[in-house]
């Protein structure tokens, strides 16, 4: 008899007895353990007792597997038959090789059919010859598996040697290893990530010791990150940007022509995506403020590839090494942007203010605009200050928006205009500090964008339209505690400590720090998907875009995903700036000591405070002398910085 045990290992045996569907067997190799009866379904008849002598059967138990040559000869003989696809019993298959095969030969043939071989299929006691085409396919498949395994091992060896692996990432198995690396890179606690043992071993060979700093350097060496890029970028939505064809504009015959009005786009010199502009209209003795916003829906349809890619990212990610855009940059900076001196489709919001700065009337529309001036903030500051009689519109806009700012301040808005420093990499990949100073133009643009968001929130609420409203509860701290400090960095730091995190939701509620009864972000549809969603809701509600706007339940589910994406973007950006800061502080450029002011306590019991280094417009933690308190002037000295181990210690002494 032939028996295949639970491990699929073929064995030869003699049948001694049958009982209750189980066979008692005597195996070729005796075992010290008692042999248990075997289910009949595991037993196959090779030679009947009646056909052979006891000596022949005893000799058959000693058989070993037939050679592959014999199986090949049997296969070739079968192909010469008139019906080469027929099935053979073990005895008839043995007849293809020799006349009257012995029990020993049949046992050897049975063992060969159970082992690894390509030519025959063995099932239910019958052997079927595989066709030539099946054999070719089988061998191609085996070769493919061998190459796959070799490629996988090559990838693991490259990881262990910390060599670039991007050229090796093509197979399904290599993608599984890549997913493991991405999961590790995006984890908040690296020790909680369970990796495939072979990947874990390769990383250990590469020198990975469980620290984020070593992992980041390993991934740079593997070519999965660029030097200076944060770990969490790997595997995030911004890791890659799919190429898309430049779309064709959708037809839009019903736009309102506002191209005759003055129109100003004001941005930093490095800005590529120009998604907003402001203008002024004199109408029947009134001054209407116009905020014009780029209209990406000219170039996409809900659910198409361009829209899907934008939703997957959720926002443009700003890193020290440059922006990673929500839309492909070739699309965002060209056809979607409001470029000077050319007709551009836009969504425009006209707002008429009351004398106290509150909103009297709102006119949203699809429009044609032409940007008269593409200005930098510095250019716009000069134009506002000079207020030339032949072109007073920007200066008058600035005055109107100051009125609006004053109204919001009366409603409890927190105004915290101060310089902000960020680190950027120049074309030579060197870090440089860029300080953004507050000014007339920045205040004007910021207030105009807030005004558009507030106006569209009120319009949407009045019309019962679910929108991605941005809400924020009022401060949880006593205002008097912050107001004891003069207007400036210390007061603002105390006010920020009491602020609750803003969130997106489908129904309007107040936004405390902006001093608004309701608000939504409306002005960056090229850079924030929630703004694009707000545009889509309005366009579908007003019949300018096919489809129905989402109801509150549907929009809430989408906002939860977008909010999660924005938190991820914030984490990546903070990690990036932290890495850049440590690298910059370890370099030769920063000068020490630096004057600073104590803003707030981080751990008062340990003497660790948040301090502001005004020369760099940065807020950093520092160990300060006992006896120093909020608002005190300090001198900050660098005690230790170690980018490889994510360590920074600043020491502050009374200045």
* Residue 242 pLDDT: 61
Q: In this model, does residue 248 exceed pLDDT 70?
A: no
Asked if 514 and 404 count as a contact pair (C-beta separation under 8 A), the reply is: no
Which residues face 470 on adjacent strands? 504
* Residue 5 pLDDT: 57
What is d(CA 332, CA 326) in angstroms, rounded to the nearest whole number? Answer: 8
* Residue 543 pLDDT: 94
Asked if 455 and 359 count as a contact pair (C-beta separation under 8 A), the reply is: yes
Weakest-pLDDT range from 61-75, 283-297, 390-404, 592-606: 61-75
Weakest-pLDDT range from 351-365, 478-492, 519-533, 622-636: 478-492
Fold of 590-654: OB fold (Dihydrolipoamide Acetyltransferase, E2P) (2.40.50)
282, containing H or E segment? strand 276-283
Tokens of 252: 């839009």
140, containing H or E segment? helix 132-161
Distances (CA, A) of 119 to 44, 69, 85, 144, 488: 20, 11, 12, 19, 85
Write out the residue limits of the CATH 2.40.50.140 domain(s) in the chain.
590-654
Distances (CA, A) of 288 to 7, 36, 389, 401, 433: 84, 96, 19, 11, 39
Which residues face 365 on adjacent strands? 348
Arithmetic mean of pLDDT, 100-114: 89
Q: In this model, does residue 27 exceed pLDDT 70?
A: yes
- What is the per-residue pLDDT across 169-208, written as a single tens digit (0 to 9) for each? 877 778 888 889 999 998 888 888 889 899 999 999 999 9
Question: 49: pLDDT confidence band, cut at 50, 70 and 90?
Answer: confident
Arithmetic mean of pLDDT, 379-402: 93
* Residue 175 pLDDT: 85
Question: 224: pLDDT confidence band, cut at 50, 70 and 90?
Answer: very high
- What is the per-residue pLDDT across 51-75, written as a single tens digit (0 to 9) for each? 778 888 888 888 888 888 888 888 8
Burial class for 312, CB neighbours closer than 10 Å (0-12, 13-18, 19+) = middle
% of the chain beyond a pLDDT of 90 = 55
Q: In this model, does residue 266 exceed pLDDT 90?
A: yes
Arithmetic mean of pLDDT, 416-438: 92
- What is the per-residue pLDDT across 340-349, written as a single tens digit (0 to 9) for each? 989 999 999 9
Arithmetic mean of pLDDT, 225-233: 89
* Residue 451 pLDDT: 98
Q: Is 194 left (phi over 0), alpha (psi -120 to 50) or beta?
A: beta
Mean pLDDT of the chain: 89
* Residue 428 pLDDT: 85
Q: In this model, does residue 580 exceed pLDDT 90?
A: yes
- What is the per-residue pLDDT across 347-376, written as a single tens digit (0 to 9) for each? 999 999 999 999 999 999 999 999 998 999
* Residue 128 pLDDT: 87
593 preceded by cis ω (within 30°)?
yes
Q: In this model, does residue 491 exceed pLDDT 80?
A: yes
Tokens of 477: 């701290």
* Residue 41 pLDDT: 81
- What is the per-residue pLDDT across 119-156, written as a single tens digit (0 to 9) for each? 888 888 888 888 888 888 888 888 877 778 888 888 99
Weakest-pLDDT range from 83-97, 202-216, 295-309, 424-438: 83-97
All residues at 6 or more sequence positions from 57 whose CB lies less than 8 Å from its CB, including other chains? 14, 47, 49, 103
All residues at 6 or more sequence positions from 334 whose CB lies less than 8 Å from its CB, including other chains? 246
Weakest-pLDDT range from 155-164, 238-247, 297-306, 502-511: 238-247
Question: 264: pLDDT confidence band, cut at 50, 70 and 90?
Answer: very high
Q: In this model, does residue 246 exceed pLDDT 70?
A: no
* Residue 76 pLDDT: 87
Asked if 651 and 637 count as a contact pair (C-beta separation under 8 A), the reply is: yes
């Amino acid at each position: 008899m032939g028996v295949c045990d639970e491990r699929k290992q073929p064995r030869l045996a003699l049948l001694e007895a049958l009982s209750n569907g189980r066979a008692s067997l005597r195996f070729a190799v005796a075992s010290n353990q008692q042999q248990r009866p075997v289910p009949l379904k595991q037993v196959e008849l090779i030679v009947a007792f009646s056909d052979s002598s006891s000596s022949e059967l005893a000799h058959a138990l000693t058989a070993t597997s037939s050679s592959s040559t014999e199986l090949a000869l049997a296969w070739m003989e079968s192909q010469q038959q008139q019906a080469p696809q027929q099935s053979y019993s073990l005895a008839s298959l043995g007849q293809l090789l020799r006349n009257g095969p012995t029990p020993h030969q049949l046992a050897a043939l049975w063992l060969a059919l159970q082992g690894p071989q390509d030519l025959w299929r063995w099932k239910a006691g019958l052997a079927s010859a595989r066709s030539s085409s099946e054999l070719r396919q089988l061998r191609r498949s085996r070769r493919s598996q061998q190459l796959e395994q070799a490629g996988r091992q090559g990838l693991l060896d490259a990881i262990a040697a910390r060599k670039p692996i991007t050229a090796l990432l093509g197979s399904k198995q290599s993608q599984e290893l890549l997913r493991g690396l991405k999961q590790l890179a995006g984890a908040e606690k690296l020790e909680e990530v369970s990796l495939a043992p072979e990947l874990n071993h390769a990383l250990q060979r590469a020198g990975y010791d469980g620290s984020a700093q070593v992992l980041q350097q390993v991934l740079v060496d593997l070519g999965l990150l660029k030097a200076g890029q944060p770990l969490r970028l790997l595997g995030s939505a911004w890791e890659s940007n799919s190429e898309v064809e430049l779309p064709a504009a959708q037809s839009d015959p019903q736009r309102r022509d506002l191209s005759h009005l003055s129109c100003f786009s004001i941005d930093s010199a490095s800005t590529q995506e120009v998604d907003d502009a402001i203008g002024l209209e004199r109408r029947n003795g009134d001054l209407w403020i116009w905020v014009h916003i780029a209209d990406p829906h000219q170039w996409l349809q809900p659910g198409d590839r361009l829209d899907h890619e934008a939703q997957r990212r959720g926002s443009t990610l700003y890193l020290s090494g440059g922006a990673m855009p929500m839309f492909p940059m070739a699309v965002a900076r060209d056809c979607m942007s409001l470029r000077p001196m050319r007709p551009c489709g836009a969504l425009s919001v006209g707002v008429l203010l009351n004398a106290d700065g509150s909103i009297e009337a709102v006119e949203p529309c699809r429009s044609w605009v032409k940007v008269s001036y593409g200005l930098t903030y510095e250019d716009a500051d000069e134009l506002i200050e000079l207020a030339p009689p032949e072109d007073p519109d920007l200066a008058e806009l600035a005055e109107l928006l100051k009125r609006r700012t004053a109204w919001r301040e009366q409603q409890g808005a927190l105004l915290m205009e101060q310089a902000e420093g960020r680190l950027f990499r120049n074309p030579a990949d060197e870090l440089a500090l860029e300080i953004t100073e507050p000014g007339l133009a920045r205040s004007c643009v910021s207030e105009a964008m807030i005004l558009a968001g507030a106006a569209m929130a009120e319009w949407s609420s009045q019309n019962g339209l679910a929108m991605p409203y941005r809400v924020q509860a009022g401060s949880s701290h006593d205002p008097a505690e912050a107001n004891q400090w003069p207007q400036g960095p210390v007061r603002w730091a105390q006010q920020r400590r009491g602020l609750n995190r803003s969130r997106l939701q489908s129904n309007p509620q107040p936004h405390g720090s902006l001093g608004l009864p309701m608000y939504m972000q409306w002005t960056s549809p090229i850079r924030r998907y929630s703004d694009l969603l707000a545009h889509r809701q309005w366009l579908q509600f007003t019949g300018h875009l096919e489809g129905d706007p989402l109801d509150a339940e549907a929009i809430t589910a989408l906002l939860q995903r977008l909010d999660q994406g924005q938190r991820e973007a914030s984490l990546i950006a903070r990690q990036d700036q932290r890495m850049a800061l440590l690298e910059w502080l370890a370099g030769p450029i920063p000068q020490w000591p630096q004057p600073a002011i104590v803003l707030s306590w981080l751990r008062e019991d340990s003497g660790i405070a948040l301090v502001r280094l005004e020369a760099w417009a940065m807020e950093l933690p520092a160990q300060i002398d006992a006896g120093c308190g909020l608002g005190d002037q300090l001198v900050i000295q660098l005690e230790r910085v170690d980018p490889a181990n994510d360590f920074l210690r600043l020491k502050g002494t009374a200045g």
